[in-house]
Each structure stands twice: as structure tokens, then as C-alpha cells.
Amino acid sequence: MWKSQQGTHSSDWLRAFPISGLGQTMNGRTYRSVLSYHLGVPLFSVSRPCPVCSRVFDGDIYGDHLVSCAGTVGVKHRHNLIRDTLLDICYRSGISVCREVDIGLVDGHGSSLHPTDLLLYYWDMGHDVCVDLMGSFPLSQTGLSDFLSGRVVANTAQ
């Protein structure tokens, strides 16, 4: 942890100006979690349920999950802000697009999957293109160290 804080720009978030209109703010709970992580101070002495989603993450004494919990309003807000900004850019550029479109995909149990964030009509040689936004978080327990853009699509196509 100490070595990671010596990296270039590793503590820049402490000097950043929060801009609420762009969704660049942290609520008090998130800020305490991130600052405690930065200082190496455990938030919890034992594993406790997440106050947002009620799931228990064993060994999460620094509150890693809480900062990236999908139930936290800020995470969803940032995702939706980016989605809506892209939607606005498409509209202004004359690109035919629709948001939150159910394209009829189901999982292995017959349940509908999450709708695509944006559907661009006739975008690629007359074919519709689905755009799904995903944000990665550096403190996630599973990590995305081998993330490659388009991997899921390529694996599915194979």
C-alpha cells in the first residue's frame, strides 16, 4: 500500500475540486472509506454487512466493497451521467439512438438480461450497434487486471 501511494498522481484525488454538476463528488461515507484506505486505517474490526446492499464480504476491513457497491447512489449517477451525455452527443450529431433498450437477450435460466445502455440504429454498415457502459474500480476485490475491451463479445462469437 505504501509503495502504491508513491506513484505519480496517486494522491491527486485529495487535491481535486469536487464538481457536483459533473457527478465528481463523494458522499461522506465514501470519502471516509477512501481516506481510511489511503491511510491504511481499517474501517471495521470484523466483517459486517454492507449498509447499502446488506451483503457480507469476509476480510473487507478497509471497506473496499462499500466504495464500489452498485447500490451506492453515486456509482449509478456517474454511469447514467455518462450514458446521457453520449446520448445527447448522438442526438446533436444526427445519429439515431435510443437508451435502455431491451434487445431480447436472456440468461441460461430464461430471465431477461439488463437492457443495453444505448442502441445506435444503422451504425455499422446498416447494422444496429449496442453500447453498454462499464466502469472498473481499482479497489474491487475481483480486480480487472486482464481486462480487454471487446473480450466478452469475442468469446461469445467464438
Q: How many CB atoms lie within 10 A of CB 90?
A: 19
pTM of the model: 0.47
Predicted pLDDT of residue 121: 92
Predicted pLDDT of residue 147: 53
Question: Which of 82, 62, 63, 91 has the alpha carbon at shortest distance from 132?
Answer: 82
Report how far residue 88's alpha carbon sits from residue 99's, in angstroms, rounded to the nearest whole number: 11
- Digitized pLDDT (tens) for each residue of the chain, 158 residues in all: 667 667 777 777 777 777 777 767 777 777 777 777 777 777 777 777 777 777 777 777 776 676 667 666 666 777 787 888 889 888 888 889 999 988 887 887 888 778 889 999 988 888 998 888 876 555 444 444 555 556 666 666 67
Predicted pLDDT of residue 9: 74
Report how far residue 153's alpha carbon sits from residue 42's, in angstroms, rounded to the nearest whole number: 39
Upper half-sphere CA count for residue 111 (Cβ side, 13 Å):
3
Predicted pLDDT of residue 72: 65
Q: The C-alpha cell of 56 is what?
A: 457480507
Predicted pLDDT of residue 1: 63
Domain residue extents for the chain? 13-71, 78-152
